[in-house]
Structure 1
Amino acid sequence: MTTIKYEVIPTEEGQSIKRKPSKWFTKMGFLSVVLLILALYTLSVATLANQSWSPWERSIETTTYSASALDIIFEIGTFSSTEVKDDTTKSSLSAVTETETENESSSQESIEKSTEVDAMVITDPSTSSHLSEDSRTETLYPLETNSAVKYFVNSPRCQMTHPDPFAKNILKIDRKHHYIVCDNSPDMITVNFNETDSTNRLHKNENSTCCYRQIVRAGASRMADNQYKLGRCVEFQQDFLVPTEVKAMITQCRRPPFDKVSQKDAFSFVHPRRNSTSDSNSEKRPSVLLWGIDSISRMTLERTMPRMYEYLLGQHWYELQGYNKMGDNTFPNLMAVLTGFNKSSAYGQCHPDKVGGLDACPFIWKDFKAKGYTTAFAEDWSQYSTFEYSKRGFFHMPTDVYGRPLILAAEKELKITHHSNMPYCLGRKPSSEYIYDLGVQFTRINRNSTFFGMFWTNTFSHNDFSMPSAMDNKMVEYMRTLDRNGVMDNTIIIFFSDHGSRFGPLRKLDSGFVEERLPFIYIRLPRWIREKYPKIVRNLKVNRNRLTSPYDIHATLRHILELNTLPEELPRPNGCPTCHSVFEEIPWSRNCSQAGIEEHWCACDSFSNLPKSGPSARNMSTQMVEAINKFVRSKRGEKCRQLKLDQIISVQQRSNSNQYLVQLSVQPGNAKFEATVQWDSSAQNITIWVPSISRLDAYAGMSGCSSVAETKKFCIC
C-alpha cells in the first residue's frame, strides 16, 4: 500500500527571501517550536489513552491527518532542512504526525474531505523522492486520452479499454423491454406480515375456499437436491396463521360454485431463527447481502437498466470498474467468491460431481454461521442453477434458509411462460421475483441480528442481453424496499454479476471480448462503517479503476468477519495468494496474473490483427480444432462428432507477446470458438489449455449425448 508523505511545497515568496535570521532569533524561535510540539504531543497521547482504537484504525494513522497536525507541519516548514538538526525535535514531529487521526464521530462531509486529502498525489519535484514509483507515474496514464480513448484501468501492466455502451452497432441490436406482467387477475390471497411478532397470516380477498399444500425438501442420494413433495391440501380460514414449520407452500383457491381451481400460487416464508448462537465477542458486526444477476456486464447494466444505474450513482455505492472475471461461466466465478478456490481446486476439493461433495466444501457462509449469523441461499431456474447443472447439488440444506424446494415445486406445479428460452414466469409472477421476495423476507426478519444471504437470478438475463431492461424499475423498487425496511442500516450489500454476455449477437461485436470479461459490481456500506472506518471508503474510491477479481471479493468477505484485524494478518484466497480485500488499496500496477486471472480471461491487453489467410493463422486454427477433438475423446466423448475447421474469423496478437487470440467456426453445427494460444514460430505449433476455450454461440440442446460438464460446449451430437 502506498504511503504518501506530506511536505510543504516551497512558494515563490519563500524562495525570494535571501536573508538569514540572526542566530539569537533562530535559537529562540527553534526553542519555542520544540516546546509547542512537546506540549501538543503530550496532549495527544493523553487523549489517545482515553480512546479505544481498533487495530484497523491504528493502521491508518500514518496517512490520515487532522488540521492541527498539518498546521504544525507548515509551521516547521519555514525552517530549512539544515536548520532543524536536533534529533529529539525530529522524532517529536514524527510522533505527532503519526498519531493524529480523525475523530470517529466525524460527519460524512468531513469523511469525504479527509478522503480527498488522503488520495492526493504530490507531483512537485522537490517531494517526488518521497513517493513510490506507482504514485509518480500514475498521472501519466489517464482514463481518457487526448484521442478520446477511454479505459476502465490504465497502467503499464493493464490497459483495459472502456467500450461505449451506447455505440451504434450495439444500439442496432438492442431493444428495450417493458416489465412483463405474468397475470393481470387480482390476488385472491394476500400474505400479511406482522412486524411485532414476525408472523405471517393468509388473508382471503374475496369469497372463496382455499387450501395450502406444504412444500418439503424430500430427495435422497443423487436426487437429494432435486426432489420435493407436497403435503395434503389443508383448508384454511380467514387470516390463517402460517405455522413456523411451513417454509413454502402451494395455495389453491376456488370461487363459487367451488367446482374448479380459480387461482394457484406459490409462497415462501421466513421465520425467526430459534436457539441462535452468537460469537462471544460482543463487537458490532455488519450483515452481508449478496444480490446477484447472471450474465450482465458493467456496460450492459448502464445501457439496459438506466434507472438502477442512476440509483447506484446517487447512493453510497462504490463501483469496481476493473472487476474482471476469472473463469468461463458461473460456477468458477461464484466458487472463487464463495470459497476462494480456482476451478481445479473447486473440483478437486469440493467434488461437485459427487453426492455430498459440495456439503464438505468450505463455503464462506459456514464461516459466517460459525460467528452466529443466520444464513440463506436461493437461486432460480433449477435446471441450470450454479450447483446443479452437471453437478450433484447439496445433500443437506447448505444454509438456514434455502430457496431450491420452492423453485422446484413452482416450476412443476405452476404454469411456465418462456421468454428467450428462459422460464420467465412461474404462475402469476416472474421467476426471479420468488428469489428476490425471499431475500426481502429474509433480511426483514433478521434485520435486528446478523445475517449472510445470497440471492441469485438467471431468468431475465442469461439468454438475452437486452432483457434486463424489463426488470429495471423493479430492481430499484427492491433496493428502496430494503432501505425502507431498515436493512441497509447494518448491511454491507454487494450487487454484482459473474460475467457479461458469453454468446449471442452482443458477444460477436468488437467490444464483445471486453463485454464478456467485465461483470458489474457495486458495494454499499452502512453509515456506521463509513464513519468508523474512513480508510475503507478511501480505498474503495481508489480501487474504482484498479484491476480486481472474484478472489478479491472472497477476501473482502473474510475481511468483513475480521474488520478489526490488521490487513496483513487477514487470510488470502487459496486460488490467489496475491489477492486481498478491496477494503485495502489494490496496487495500481497490478497485472492479471497477480489478480488470479488466466491470460485468456484477462481484459487488459491490446491486440493487433494477423492476416487470416497466412500460414501461421491456418496452422494455429487447425491445431486448435485438433486439440478440441482430442480433449473431447479423452473425456469419454465418443458420441460427440468430429469437428472440422470451417472458417478462420480472426487471429490477433496480444500486445507484443507470443500469445494470440484465435476466433474460428467449425462444422458440424457452425459452432464458434475463441481461444488464447501460445505460438512457437520456430516449431510451428501451439500450446493451448482447452477447458479455457470460449464458445461464442448458444449450444443448449446440441450436446445432450455428453454427460461430462467440461465437454458440453465442444460436443455436437
Structure 2
Amino acid sequence: MTNIKYELVPNEEREPSEKKPSNWIVKILFISLVLLTLAIYTLSCADNPLKNSAAPFSPWRPMRLSVGSGWTNNPGNFSSLLDVLYKIRSLGEVKQTETAEASHSKVTDTESSTEDQTERSTIAHTDRVLEISTSLPVTGYSKTETLYALESNGKKYFVNSPQCQMGHPNPFASNIQHIYKKHSYIVCDKSPDMITVIFNETDSTYRLHKIENSTCCFKQILRAGSSTNADHQYKLRPCVEFQQDLLVPTEVTAMITYCRRHPFDKVSQKDAFSFVHPRKDQINNRTSLHKRRPSVLLWGIDSISRMTLELTMPRMYEYLNSQHWFELQGYNKMGDNTFPNLMAILTGFNKTYANARCHPDKVRGLDECPFIWKDFKDKGYTTAFAEDWSKYSTFDYSSKGFYNPPTDVYGRPLVLAVEEELRMTQRGQMPYCLGRKPASEYIYDLGVQFTMVNRNSTFFGMFWTNTFSHNDFSMPSAMDERLVKYMRTLDKNGIMDNTIIIFFSDHGARFGPLRKLNSGFVEERLPFIYIRVPRWIREKYPKLLRNLQVNRNRLASPYDIHATLRHILELDTPKDKLPRPEGCSTCHSVFEEVDWSRNCSQAGIEEHWCTCDSLSEVSTTDSSAKSMSTQLVESINKYVASKKGAERCRRLKLSRIFSVQRRGNSNRYLIQLSVQPGDALFEATVEWDASARRIPDQMPSISRLNTYAGMSGCSSVKETRKYCIC
C-alpha cells in the first residue's frame, strides 16, 4: 500500500521541474526560420514608419502593430512576409503530424512544455500578423476585411474589430493600487494533526491514522433534508470510536472526527474529511486510443475578472501563461450574477428560460433541469459537483436547491456540516476558516480526491468556490500560491494527461470600491477563463489547438463554453452537426474559430452587459439626462411593486446622477445614479426616444454597484433583492 497523506498539495521542492525538449534539430530549424523571416521583413521595411511599433516577440503577448499607410505603400513586402509566415505555419503543422505519429511512449505535459511553447509561439506569431491588415490580395489568404491591432493610438484592447472594441484597462493603475491590499495565506490552525488519512492508490481505499496516543471517534455526515429542505439539512450519526488505521467504510463519504488526549475529558481536536469511493458500475473509457474520451474538470472561482486575476494572483497568472493553458481574453459575461452565467454554461439557457424550464423556486424543479453533467453521465462518466458557502451557493440562494443529489459525488452535506459544527473565522464577511483549514480547501481537496479515484476512467467534475473572492477583490491574493500548488498536484497525479480543464470565473467585481472606478464597467463584465487541453488531443486534433489560439482575442460568452462542453462529447462530429445552445443559436464551441467580426448580439450577450461599446460623456445637468434618470427610478419602483412578496420594500427617489454616457453612436445610454433611502447605487442601460422624451416601459437590466446585504431581507422575491430597501 502506498502511503499518501490526505493533504495532496506538494511542497515547493516537490513541484515538477521543467525539462528541456529532446528534439533540438526541429527546434533550431523553427527558430532559424522565424529569425530569418523577421530579418527579411526588417530589411524590406527599412524606411517604413511602422518598423519600431512592434512589441517584443512573445507567444503570449499579441504583436502590437499600428495600422498605417506603410502597408499600402509597399504591398509586395507585406505579401511576401505573409507567404513566408504561411510556410512556417505549414511546417509547424507537419511537425505536429509527425510528432503524433512517432509518439508511442508516455511523456508528461510538464516535460514537454518547452517544445509545445515553441510550436505555439509560431502559431501565435503568424496569427497575430495576419490579424493586422489584409484588404490587399494575399496569396493563400482569402479574408478581405480590415483587421486591427490590439493597441491603437495608445489604447489597448482585448478585442478590436468594427463590431467590438473591448478596452483593456491597466490592472496596475495607480487608482487600483491605492485600494488594493495584498493578503497573506492564513494557516487556520498551527497545531499538529492528530489524524491523517492514508489513501491507497491501488484500490482507492482510505485509513484513519492517529499520529499520537489518543482516543478518537467519528460522526458520519449524511444528507437529511426532505421536501423544501431536501438540500438544506444534514445530520450526524453517533460517534464511532475507532482503532489505529481504521479502513473507512465505502458508505461513509464525509465525517467529523473528535480526538481526546489524556486524561480524555475534553475534545482536543476536531476535523472534517471527505471520501470519494469508486463507483461500483464504473466504466473504463480509456482502453482504446481510437475511442478515447477526455475527462472534464471545471475549476471555478466567484467574482474574479481577468484584470483582477493578473493583479492579485501573479503566481497563478504566471503559471497559466507558461504552461499549456489557452486564455480567452474576450470572454464576456451574459448576465448579472452567478446564476445566469453558470446556467448558460451548464444548460445553454438564458435566465428567463432557465427560470421557466428549471423552476429553481420549486421542489424538484432543478432535478428536472437538463444540466450538462447528465449528458456526460449518459456517456459513462462519473460526475461531481461541490460548492462552498452554503448560504449563497448558486442553486440554493433564494432557491429550493436539489431534491436528490444532482451528481455521483455531491459536496453540499459536507459543507453544511462543517459550517455548523466547526469553528468559523471570517475575513471580509466571508467564512474564510472552517475549523482547521480554509473553507475553499474542503472543495479543492474533494476535487483532488475525485480526480484521483477516477483517473483511470472518465469523469466530469465541477468545483466552485466563493469564500475568498466574493466580497473583497483583494482577498484572492491570499490563495495565489495555494492555487498554483493545487494545479501542480493535478499535473503530478497525472490528471492532466486525459482531462480538459476549464479554470474560470462567472464575472468580475459587481460592487465595492473597485467597481466604482472608471475601469469598473469592464471589470464587472470580463471574468477570466483559461482552458487546458491534454497532449493527446493536441496531437490528434491540431486544428483545435490553432482555433483556441486564434480565439484568444475574439468575443466569446458562457454560451460558447456550453457548446464547447457538448463538443467534447462529440469531438469527431462535423461542426455543422453539433448542437447549439438554446439561449444562443449563433453561439458555438471555442474549438471552432470564432468570427472576427462578431458582435454581442451574436454571442448572446445583452447590451447592458456588453463590453464592446465605446462610451462618450453626457452632462449630468442635461435635461435629457435628468429625464432618463427620473424615469429609470420610476421603472424600478413599478417593477418591485408588481412582485408579490415585496410589499414591504420602500419607494425609491432619485438622489444623485453620477454619470450619463452614450453607448457608441446609438440612442442608448449608460446611467449611474443613487437613490434614497439606503444610498443604493445603480447602473443601467436605457434606450432614449428623443422625440417622445421617454424610455421604454419595460424594466431594463440594472447593476447594483454597492452591497445590499442586510437591506432587503423583507422581500421574499429573489429578483427584487438588489432594488429593495426595507
TM-score (normalizing by structure 2): 0.83
**Structure 2 gap segments, 5+ residues each:** 1-39, 41-82, 104-114
CA contact (8 A) 2:134 2:146 kept: no
Q: Against the structure 1 CA distance between its residues 124 and 66, is the aligned structure 2 distance closer, same or farther, given a 3 Å change threshold?
A: closer
Q: Which residue in the other structure is 1:261 paired with?
A: 267
Deviation at 1:229, TM superposition (A): 0.8
Q: Against the structure 1 CA distance between its residues 261 and 657, is the aligned structure 2 distance closer, same or farther, given a 3 Å change threshold?
A: same
Q: Which residue in the other structure is 1:143 paired with?
A: 150
Aligned equivalent of 1:662, options 652, 671, 675: 671
Whole-angstrom CA distance in 1 between matches of 2:165 and 2:88: 40
Give 1:142's aligned amino acid.
A
SS of the residue corresponding to residue 105 of structure 1 reads helix
Q: Against the structure 1 CA distance between its residues 118 and 256, is the aligned structure 2 distance closer, same or farther, given a 3 Å change threshold?
A: same
Q: Which residue in the other structure is 1:479 paired with?
A: 487
Higher alpha-carbon deviation: 273-282 or 495-504: 273-282
Q: Which residue in the other structure is 1:240 paired with?
A: 246
| Structure with max Cα Rg | 1
SS of the residue corresponding to residue 434 of structure 1 reads helix
Whole-angstrom CA distance in 2 between matches of 1:69 and 1:703: 58
Q: Against the structure 1 CA distance between its residues 666 and 215, is the aligned structure 2 distance closer, same or farther, given a 3 Å change threshold?
A: same
Aligned equivalent of 1:336, options 344, 353, 368: 344
CA contact (8 A) 2:88 2:122 kept: no
CA contact (8 A) 1:355 1:394 kept: yes
Aligned residues: 626
Whole-angstrom CA distance in 2 between matches of 1:250 and 1:220: 22
Q: Which residue in the other structure is 2:662 paired with?
A: 653
Give 1:650's aligned amino acid.
S
Structure 1 residues 22-45: Cα deviation after superposition (integer angstroms, max 9, x where no partner): xxxxxxxxxxxxxxxxxxxxxxxx
Aligned equivalent of 1:300, options 303, 308, 315: 308
Deviation at 1:567, TM superposition (A): 1.1
Structure 1 residues 129-152: Cα deviation after superposition (integer angstroms, max 9, x where no partner): 97555x5411xx11011x320000
Structure 1 residues 109-158: Cα deviation after superposition (integer angstroms, max 9, x where no partner): 5854884697473978873497555x5411xx11011x320000000000
Percent of aligned pairs sharing the same letter? 71
Q: Which residue in the other structure is 2:543 paired with?
A: 535
Deviation at 1:197, TM superposition (A): 1.4
Aligned equivalent of 2:619, options 591, 595, 611: 611
Kindly report which structure 2 residues correspond to 1:264-283, keeping only aligned pairs within 5 A, or say none: 264-277=270-283, 283=291
Whole-angstrom CA distance in 1 between matches of 2:502 and 2:708: 31
SS of the residue corresponding to residue 584 of structure 1 reads coil
Q: Which residue in the other structure is 1:705 paired with?
A: 714
Does residue 357 (structure 1) correspond to residue 394 (structure 2)? The answer is: no
Q: Against the structure 1 CA distance between its residues 194 and 99, is the aligned structure 2 distance closer, same or farther, given a 3 Å change threshold?
A: closer
Give 2:684's aligned amino acid.
A
Structure 1 residues 377-413: Cα deviation after superposition (integer angstroms, max 9, x where no partner): 0000000000000111000000000000000000110
Higher alpha-carbon deviation: 272-281 or 611-620: 272-281
Aligned equivalent of 1:466, options 456, 467, 474: 474
CA contact (8 A) 2:282 2:457 kept: no
Kindly report which structure 2 residues correspond to 1:537-576, keeping only aligned pairs within 5 A, or say none: 537-576=545-584
Q: Which residue in the other structure is 1:55 paired with?
A: none
Does residue 377 (structure 1) correspond to residue 373 (structure 2)? The answer is: no
Whole-angstrom CA distance in 2 between matches of 1:68 and 1:179: 46
Kindly report which structure 2 residues correspond to 1:613-652, keeping only aligned pairs within 5 A, or say none: 613-636=621-644, 637-652=646-661
Whole-angstrom CA distance in 2 between matches of 1:366 and 1:356: 15
Deviation at 1:614, TM superposition (A): 1.2
CA contact (8 A) 1:677 1:688 kept: no
Q: Which residue in the other structure is 1:681 paired with?
A: 690
Q: Which residue in the other structure is 2:69 paired with?
A: none
CA contact (8 A) 1:494 1:523 kept: yes
SS of the residue corresponding to residue 259 of structure 2 reads strand
Aligned equivalent of 1:167, options 164, 173, 178: 173
Give 1:418's aligned amino acid.
Q
Aligned equivalent of 2:699, options 643, 666, 690: 690
CA contact (8 A) 1:247 1:268 kept: yes
Whole-angstrom CA distance in 1 between matches of 2:249 and 2:214: 21
Q: Which residue in the other structure is 1:497 paired with?
A: 505
CA contact (8 A) 1:66 1:101 kept: no
Q: Which residue in the other structure is 1:322 paired with?
A: 330
Give 1:481's aligned amino acid.
T
Deviation at 1:196, TM superposition (A): 1.4
Give 1:526's aligned amino acid.
P
SS of the residue corresponding to residue 460 of structure 1 reads coil
Give 2:666's aligned amino acid.
S
Aligned equivalent of 1:433, options 427, 438, 441: 441
Q: Against the structure 1 CA distance between its residues 538 and 70, is the aligned structure 2 distance closer, same or farther, given a 3 Å change threshold?
A: closer
CA contact (8 A) 1:608 1:652 kept: yes
Give 1:105's aligned amino acid.
E
Does residue 105 (structure 1) correspond to residue 115 (structure 2)? The answer is: no
Kindly report which structure 2 residues correspond to 1:503-518, keeping only aligned pairs within 5 A, or say none: 503-518=511-526
Whole-angstrom CA distance in 1 between matches of 2:90 and 2:424: 66
Q: Which residue in the other structure is 2:532 paired with?
A: 524
**Structure 1 gap segments, 5+ residues each:** 1-10, 12-62, 72-97
Give 2:550's aligned amino acid.
V
SS of the residue corresponding to residue 314 of structure 1 reads coil
Deviation at 1:67, TM superposition (A): 7.5
